[in-house]
Amino acid sequence: MFAEFFGGRNPFDTFFGQRNGEEGMDIDDPFSGFPMGMGGFTNVNFGRSRSAQEPARKKQDPPVTHDLRVSLEEIYSGCTKKMKISHKRLNPDGKSIRNEDKILTIEVKKGWKEGT
């Protein structure tokens, strides 16, 4: 029965070192070396989700920077500038793309310094 369960090899090779040039234990599936994955329970993952089972996490886009041209007079007295930002979004169908526009309003305050 022992040889049947462990496939006729030393079961401790899986945990302690290499087996015939193969890598040691798979940290995500410690029973991967056993035939039929531990008595037929091939989906046992001990509470850890595998990369194929993890939902794709949305990656935050990097911030967008753009120079805003203002005159000395506008900085001296202050003003309001508007900027139109356009970007493409994936539609809910997952196939087509739509353009979205957003108008940003920037309040330039009196005496702003470069880089503000």
Same domain, 5 and 51: yes
Q: How many CB atoms lie within 10 A of CB 95?
A: 7
Same domain, 74 and 96: yes
Same domain, 95 and 51: no
- Domain containing residue 26: 1-56
Query: Residue 54 and residue 61: Cα distance in Å, rounded?
Result: 20
Compute mean pLDDT per 10 residues along the chain, 116 residues long, and list them: 63 57 56 55 54 69 85 93 90 91 93 80
Q: Looking at residue 98, what is its pLDDT?
A: 93
What contacts 21, CB < 8 A, 6 or more positions away?
none
Same domain, 11 and 49: yes
Same domain, 50 and 18: yes
Q: Looking at residue 35, what is its pLDDT?
A: 56
Q: Looking at residue 36, what is its pLDDT?
A: 54
